[in-house]
Amino acid sequence: MGFEPLIWYCKPEPNSIWDKIVDSTFGSYTPCAINTLVNSTSNLVLMGLCLYRIWLISCNVKAQRFCLKSNYYNYMLGMLACYCAFQPVLRLLTGNSVFNLNEETGFAPFEITALVIESLTWISMIILILLETKVYIRQFSWLVRFGVIYVLVGDIVMLDLLLSVKDYSNRSALFLYISTVIFQVLFGTLLLVYIPNLVQYSHHTTIQAEIPENGEYEPLCGDDQVFPEMRANLLSSE
C-alpha cells in the first residue's frame, strides 16, 4: 500500500495506459511526477522572478528609473500573456484534462495545482508588463527572460510526454495545451530579442538638503570665515 497523501494527490491507475505505453520509471505516477517536477516547478520559479522584479520597480528607490519610448511592444506581449493565463482557467472550467486517457472526467489534485500555479504565474507576468509601461528598470530583466526559457523547456518535456499518448488523449484538451505552448514560445522569442527604447523617467525628483535662507552665521572676511568659535576662550565670560 502506497503513501496515502501521494495516492490522493496523483490518483495513479494500476495497469493504465501510462504503465503500458510510456517508457518511464514512474509508471502510473508518470503524469503526476513529470507535471509536478517540470511544469509546476518551472512556473513557480518564473512567478518568483516576476514578483521580485515587481517589488524592485515598486519599492526599490535605489534603482534608476526609465520610461519606455513606446508601449506597443509591451501591449503585444501583454496580449500573449493574457492567453497563457486564460488557457489554464478555461481548461479548469471546461473539465478538459490532458492526463485522463480513459474518457474520464474531472482532474486529479496534481493537475488542478499545476493549472492554478500556471495561471497565477502568467497573471504576475501581465502585472509586470503593465507596470513596465509606466516605469522600467534594467535590474533583473534578463533573469525574468531566462525564467521564461526555463518554462518553455518544461513545456517541451510535457508536450513530448503528451504526444506519446496522443491517440488516447482528449483532443480538445490536447489542442488547448499545444496552442498554449505555441503562444508561450512566441512570447518567449519576442521577449528574448526585446531591446527596450528607454527615456529618462520624468517624474523622478531628487531630494535636496534644505538650506535656510537666514542662517545663523554669515560669511566673514579673511581668516575669521573658518570656524571663529575655535578662537574663543572657553574661560572667557564673553
Whole-number pLDDT of residue 216:
52
Higher pLDDT, 147 or 10: 147
Q: How confident is the model at residue 203 (pLDDT cuts 50, 70, 90)?
A: low
Domain boundaries, the chain: 4-200
In the structure, what pLDDT confidence band is assigned to residue 105 with cuts at 50, 70 and 90? low
Q: Which residue has the higher pLDDT, 231 or 46?
A: 46
Confidence category of residue 1, pLDDT binned at 50, 70, 90: very low
Angle formed at CA 90 by CA 191 and CA 7, multiple of 5 degrees: 100
Candidate from 32-36, 97-101, 208-212, 229-233 with smallest mean pLDDT: 208-212
Q: If you compute the radius of gyration of the chain from its CA atoms, what whole number of angstroms results? A: 29
Listed in sequence order, the residues at least 6 apart from 88 whose beta carbon sits closer than 8 Å to its beta carbon are 115, 116, 118, 119, 180
